[in-house]
């Protein structure tokens, strides 16, 4: 495994652990606009996007290793939450891969965005149900806004904007 792969995998597993640690310690929190979400929603959303990076850099089997490490670390503080999280991440991983892998050849942004949206929806419902959180319009919408918008769509938009700027600079390095 390359240094880049090890960094991607470590970040992925750490983000899963952080999402669960935050949720264990803070539970449901206000997300604004009358919405609530689990405290680890943004980290969980970031994990869904990082999953795609781990797949690209290391391969899909390493994604499963990242989930296993995140689950093991979560089990230290909350075995019940570890089971809910692992199940939700595995279900999201299966659907995410089914969307991401075939779309990847058409571009990273499209694949990451669409697979992130699918992964966010599956992860949200599975995690809330298995972890014993209420499944209401406020919690589901709060989770989806956090995962799909802030932790998936926004970073993908930043990557696309950065690429556009870099291409423009390389085409005309003097700015003339």
- Give percent of the chain above pLDDT 70: 97
Pick from 171, 141, 126, 109: nearest CA to 30: 141
What is the per-residue pLDDT for 172?
62
d(CA 115, CA 133): 24
In this structure, are residues 95 and 119 in contact, taking their beta carbons and an 8 Å threshold? Answer: yes
Task: Identify each DSSP E strand in the chain by its residue range.
Answer: 28-32, 35-38
The backbone torsions φ and ψ at residue 74, rounded to the nearest 5 degrees and listed phi first, read -65, -40
Task: Write the pLDDT tens digit of every residue in 81-135.
Answer: 999 999 999 999 889 889 999 999 999 999 999 999 999 999 999 999 999 999 9
Residue 176 has pLDDT above 80, yes or no: no
pTM: 0.88
What domains lie within the chain, and their CATH numbers?
A: 3-171 (1.10.1760)
What is the per-residue pLDDT for 97?
87
């Amino acid at each position: 495994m390359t240094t880049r792969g090890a960094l991607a995998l470590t970040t992925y597993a750490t983000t899963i652990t952080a999402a669960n640690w935050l949720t264990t310690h803070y539970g449901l929190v206000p997300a604004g606009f009358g919405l609530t979400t689990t405290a680890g929603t943004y980290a969980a959303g970031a994990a869904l996007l990082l999953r795609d990076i781990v797949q690209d850099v290391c391969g899909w089997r390493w994604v499963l290793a990242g989930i296993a490490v995140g689950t093991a670390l979560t089990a230290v503080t909350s075995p019940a939450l570890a089971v809910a999280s692992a199940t939700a991440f595995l279900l999201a991983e299966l659907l995410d891969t089914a969307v991401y892998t075939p779309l990847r050849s058409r571009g990273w942004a499209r694949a990451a965005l669409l697979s992130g949206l699918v992964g966010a929806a599956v992860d949200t419902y599975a995690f809330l149900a298995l972890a014993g959180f209420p499944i209401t319009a406020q919690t589901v919408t709060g989770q989806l806004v956090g995962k799909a918008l802030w932790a998936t769509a926004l970073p993908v938009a930043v990557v696309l904007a950065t690429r556009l700027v870099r291409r423009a600079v390389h085409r005309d390095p003097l700015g003339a």
